Amino acid sequence: MAETISSFLVGKGISKEIVIFLISLMPVFELRGGLIAASFLDVDFVKAFFICLLGNIIPIPFILIFIRKIFQFLRDKRGFKKIIEKLEVRSMRKSDKVKRWRDWGLLLFVAIPLPGTGGWTGALIAALLDMRIRKSLPIISLGVLLAGIIMSVLTYFIPALFGF
């Protein structure tokens, strides 16, 4: 999917760097999708890594600070109540390890690149669990960094070993 989006945007004249930055900002793709797109677009690894890392980390403080207020505001708007409740329930279902292990659980949740994990969901869980921003922001950022290292190995280094 990240490949399709990146091809479409580059075809519209948007630079490769902007494309991978935008993909890294998106909640479902995040840094993982950005690095896959960067590899597909032949963006230099170091440049791609830092662009995707930045793109994934930028939304995190805003989610930590504002998401509960946004949810509270939208809950009263027609059509949003069910969406908000679904997001909260889904996030809280995934929060068991974070609740049990707090900081380590949050770090692992964000760092291990599996579907439904990552900085956005980690920040949402931290906000819903009322974790302190001063503590959760560095943990989530470190998790995004670790996810970036894992994804770099999967998207750049392993394919290079096999000549892809």
Per-residue pLDDT of the chain (164 residues; tens, 9 = 90+): 777 888 788 788 899 999 999 999 999 899 999 999 999 999 999 999 999 999 999 999 999 999 999 999 998 888 899 999 998 988 888 888 788 888 999 999 999 998 889 999 999 999 999 999 999 999 999 999 999 999 999 999 888 888 77
- In 3D, which of 133, 156, 146 has the Cα closest to residue 53? 146
Q: For residue 11, what pLDDT is reported?
A: 80
User: What letter represents residue 94's amino acid?
Assistant: K
pLDDT of residue 34: 96
Q: Are 122 and 140 in contact (CB under 8 A)?
A: yes
